[in-house]
Copies of this chain bind each other. A is one copy, B any other.
């Protein structure tokens, strides 16, 4: 029994993502967001007290989605299948690793933000556990090396996503090459 909303939460999150990647944490403003969504700035304050609150909630949403996708991946039976599935989905949205850095910058300006940050930490732990299982599987199948720290293996996978494809190699080729290098290195045998 009220007026129809001019913007959905999803739309708001979508624009937020764009603006965050474009302007970074400090460059992201409600003024900018309101313009993009074609609403008045004050409307946003009906839902969020400040940008920290909005952003911590957005990060929570983004990470929750990510965790769900990751859980899908872990349904694959073999390590090899999980590995390829993981790449497929990481490369479908390459911005996540960058967004994580931004998430770390959010200061706890109030109780709600502090709570969200706590929830985010919890999700990150879950993410890490899930990835740990993935790595363990690879090791138990004697595919992954035992002498490389887990955090390094995970880091390699997530960082390489961000290597700029300056030579404009077709996406599928590019992904294949990156996988290859991660698995076998840049040296000849």
Chain B CB within 8 A of A8 CB: no
Identify the closest chain B residue to A187 (Cβ): B183
Indicate if A4 sits at the interface (CB-CB under 8 A).
no
Given contacts A27-B24, A181-B185, A187-B143, contact A156 B163 (CB under 8 A): yes
CB distance from A101 to the nearest CB of B (A): 9
Quick one: which of A152, A162, A189 has the most chain B CB within 10 A? Answer: A152
Say whether A153 faces chain B, with CB atoms less than 8 Å apart. Answer: yes
Q: Does A148 contact B (CB under 8 A)?
A: yes
Q: Is the CB of B181 within 8 A of A184?
A: no
Q: How many copies does the complex hold?
A: 2
Categorize the interface residue count of chain A: 35 or more
Per-residue interface assignment for chain A, residues 163 to 186, with 1 indicating a CB less than 8 Å from any chain B CB and 0 otherwise: 111110100001001101111111
Do A188 and B156 touch across chains, with their CB atoms under 8 A apart?
A: no
Q: Which residues of B contact A174 (CB under 8 A)?
A: 152
A111 at the interface (CB under 8 A from B): no
- A163–B169 touching, CB < 8 Å: no
CB distance from A44 to the nearest CB of B (A): 19
Q: Which residues of B contact A160 (CB under 8 A)?
A: 155-156, 159-160
What 0/1 pattern do residues 101 to 145 of A give for CB contact below 8 A with B?
Answer: 000000000000000000000000000000000000000001111
Contact B164 A151, beta carbon cutoff 8 Å = yes
Residues of A that sit less than 8 Å from B by CB: 23-27, 142-145, 147-153, 155-156, 159-160, 162-167, 169, 174, 177-178, 180-189
- Contacts A144-B187, A159-B160 known; list 18 others, CB within 8 Å: A24-B24, A25-B27, A26-B27, A145-B186, A145-B187, A148-B177, A148-B181, A151-B163, A151-B164, A151-B165, A155-B163, A159-B163, A160-B160, A181-B185, A182-B186, A183-B186, A185-B185, A189-B189
